[in-house]
């Protein structure tokens, strides 16, 4: 009887793990626009599925909060990359 009871917590924890969903480009663009970003500024890399990359120079605090909240709701970790592309 003790062996059965000892394994129950392990079984219940395993049931809570959810696989990471790869979101489509259209879904990420909808989130980006909804958070005040441009199309293509949110990326979910196939090799690091849990990371939601925001590529934008000087994202505002509101944009960061919006992306971070959406990422958290979807089991992702928001990462903000501050990139400045050369002009011309």
Residue 7: inside a domain, yes or no?
Answer: no
Residue 74: inside a domain, yes or no?
Answer: yes
Other C-beta atoms lying within 10 Å of the C-beta of residue 6: 9
Residues of the chain with pLDDT > 90, as a percent, come to: 65
In which domain, by residue range, is 70 found? Answer: 21-81
**What tens digit of pLDDT does each residue of 2-39 get?**
554 444 454 444 555 667 889 999 999 999 999 999 99
Fill in the DSSP letter of residue 85. P
Residue 11: inside a domain, yes or no?
Answer: no
| Least-confidence region, from 12-16, 38-42, 44-48, 73-77 | 12-16
Residue 36: inside a domain, yes or no?
Answer: yes
Structural domains of the chain, count: 1
Residue 5: inside a domain, yes or no?
Answer: no
**Residues in Cβ contact with 22 at an 8 Å cutoff, skipping those fewer than 6 apart:** 44, 46, 49
């Amino acid at each position: 009887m003790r062996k059965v009871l000892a394994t129950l917590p392990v079984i219940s924890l395993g049931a809570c793990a959810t696989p990471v969903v790869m979101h489509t480009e259209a879904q990420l663009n909808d989130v980006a626009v909804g958070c005040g970003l441009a199309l293509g500024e949110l990326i979910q890399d196939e090799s690091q599925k849990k990371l939601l990359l925001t590529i934008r120079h000087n994202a505002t605090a509101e944009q960061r909060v919006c992306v971070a909240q959406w990422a958290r709701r979807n089991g992702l970790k928001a990462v903000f990359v501050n990139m400045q592309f050369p002009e011309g």
